[in-house]
Amino acid sequence: MLLPTARGPLSAGVIAALLSAGSPRPAGTADGPEELAGDADFQLALWIALETLDGGFEGITTDHGEHPDLVHWRTWLSERWGAALREMTAPVVRAAGGDTASPSLIGDHLISLMRGGHTGLYTFAESKATAAQLRELLATKSLSCADHTLVDRLPAVAIAAHNTMRVLSRGATPAAALGHQAASAARSWLSGRKLDRGLRRAGLEPATTLEAPERRWDRLLGACRAHLAENPGRTQDLLHGAAAAIVLEARLGRHLLRCWAQATPVLEPVRPAALSVIGGEQSRTRARLHLTSIPADPDEGRSSDVRCG
């Protein structure tokens, strides 16, 4: 995988630390959760810092992932996003009765959370989305298309959804990761058939899955119940993890629909190959696949508090 192009000082700082080019430690920020969810620089910086643990990048050895400066960046970014997620999901959890949630009724609480999800995106995908729009939707889900990584061109909220899964899975509280996985499974169960019908309508091949969505939901719900039976005090953590998946999916749905309705490209233009990083100038050659956004029916637009691009 090629190293993405920086989208601001934070991602440039992480890249500099990864390349051992020297990078100052991150400074504090007053940005709230709403701003961080739409901050492409912050989300890309966190994604790069986490990716060094999973696969790394071409030409960079795996031991770079444990460089002290990079570890400091990863820790700071992860903790900042984790705190923002907790603040962002608090109203959703409270509205679903999370303040008095019972571990024995966790299934009911999760279903209550799902009622606040955003279904307009998949209704549009099923009946009206063009093939180009569906490819953009799939790209935001996988961060790639046709073997090209598009993370440095995707909207911040799409990267944030991936970062959330990884931050929670590496956190000290397994309940949050379980909640996130269960909510993601429920969401796939509710929306997957609509997306598959839309892909077939547009002449595209639906994605194959190793496990049926309803079976995955049943399995993860059982895991949630078992975990809370032993750790009843972690009910809130589990619900916050579930709410994070739902909130970010809703934001992504509103974002895509708004961009399509306003004929605003979902993907940003290809950036120059040169990476301006703190401590030096690095140049890399990269190939990028350009996708074009096709306008949708303007009546399908939705308001969004996440900026396009």
**pLDDT tens by residue, 30-71:** 578 889 999 999 999 999 999 888 767 887 766 676 778 888
- Sign of the four-CA dihedral 240, 245, 246, 250: positive
Average pLDDT of the segment spanning 250-275:
83
Residue 282 has pLDDT above 80, yes or no: no
The per-residue pLDDT for 296 is 32
Phi, psi of 118 (to 5 degrees): -110, 115
Residue 145 has pLDDT above 80, yes or no: no
Mean per-residue pLDDT of the chain: 80
Q: How far apart are CA 169 and CA 181, in angstroms?
A: 9
pLDDT band at 97 (very low <50, low <70, confident <90, very high): confident
- Half-sphere exposure (Cβ direction) of 244: Cα atoms closer than 13 Å: 33
Per-residue pLDDT tens over the stretch 169-214: 988 789 999 999 999 998 888 888 899 999 999 999 887 777 888 8
Per-residue pLDDT tens over the stretch 123-144: 999 999 999 999 999 989 887 6
Percent of the chain surpassing pLDDT 90: 46
* 292, burial (CB in 10 Å: exposed 0-12, middle 13-18, buried 19+): exposed
* 64, burial (CB in 10 Å: exposed 0-12, middle 13-18, buried 19+): middle
Percent of the chain surpassing pLDDT 70: 79
Residue 113 has pLDDT above 80, yes or no: yes
The per-residue pLDDT for 267 is 87
